[in-house]
A and B are shown apart, each in its own frame.
Chain A
């Protein structure tokens, strides 16, 4: 199968993720969409690695996975804390970052 198709799939996944981040309010969903985008990036890395026949991209993908895992830990903790304090998981309710 033509490896370019993986790239197309990655683009599709990335777009879905991005749209989710921008449109959904639930923090958990937003978070999942971010994961989707990260994985889209991983897919691209692996696809290109395959296309060019060197392993650098696959190594990078592993790095991204590790970072994503760390991010999940921190991010979920924040979401849980937010939910506890505000009884809502909506990102719009947490508009605390303005002056």
Chain B
């Protein structure tokens, strides 16, 4: 039995959560540093996962398997494929930045300092402990190869997230303190209800899956590998209608989480009302579990049904792309705008997953990573801006670049990454998704391409209205530029966006074999080009040779 690296990666933040929560009320700063160090340790472990992972090796690596609830065939099974390993790395990477950006978000307001001194209630400690708890659960979800284990952590994530959304909002709310608290709790409840409904339906499907496997295999199992093996050997043959129902049960939960139109409306509320770091946690980390699970569970468990549902899913993804982008254009609130932009981007991810081509799915996986980083950059800078002025409304800003050029510059880079500018990482993933979609569904590819024009519109409108023009008023004039801590949070993210945009090979190498496995699950092959060009060396090309050109007459 080798060292349980995946479990350790998840246990460390969990321990960190407990340790952070246990720090005495008065030692707030110690709690922050403790949480930060634990998140760094997790990042180190995640790096070890990436290093230990051999892209050319078996599909699932670093596997762990222990009996858990023997009566129901539940095993504690973990294992990382290329996609899971990359997603674990993304999660571990973003959490330190989230903690760093939220460093002062959960401090008591200046006036409340004495009041909270001797209370047992420790919001700061709680904030960071909850973030670490979410991290632990997300990592387990990405690593689980047992449907039941996945389900438990998929659902348990909701609890800390509920408190993070409902308990910690922006200090100053446009609609006043009381109204702010009301909207916050509305957003938190909405988030919880949506995801619970999705989760319950999934639970039914999970039980259904158990019933089917125990019926056909004699012994129920939730193990992904076991089910795949049984299907391959013909022992397991799920009836078409059952498979479709089970698929829908799983897909519904993931579509809520992802979120896919028309199940998206919880996201703008949740992202709008929570603080910027929590908003990043939602959209860049937690939501990714949904799209990741579509790839691993929907496609892996129910290939036939996935194929059956593809036209509808593609249509929904297209609606998400265009609809999210159009709504982003119409928003008056910076955070809600980014939330709708994310909905548009999730549309791209789902599109890529269900395009069922290596480019589409590889692109979708990269998209998950790059969208996480780019949205984190944009949202965190937006959060810094909002915390300065105490307003989320776009109309309250104007001319910020004049007073805070570095803030404006980083905001622009984040925005450009969001609109998938070539040279920055998201371009690669978006282009791959589009190419992959186009090669199987040309019409869908063209509609989705409209999304890149709309993305430019909402990003540049946001930049134009907040950053350019004359300085809006005295309050804007006094805005300070980015502080060292804030720059330390944003600069590495931007550097990463540039680096991965120029040299994404390390990631594509990880992801590519995993995507091939997924494609073989659903028994799909890439469409072949109609007129494949002969294998040709670069130096063989001689434009001068008239024989190669039909049109050019040489005189």
A–B in direct contact per CB < 8 Å = no
The chain A residues found within 8 Å of chain B, CB to CB, are none
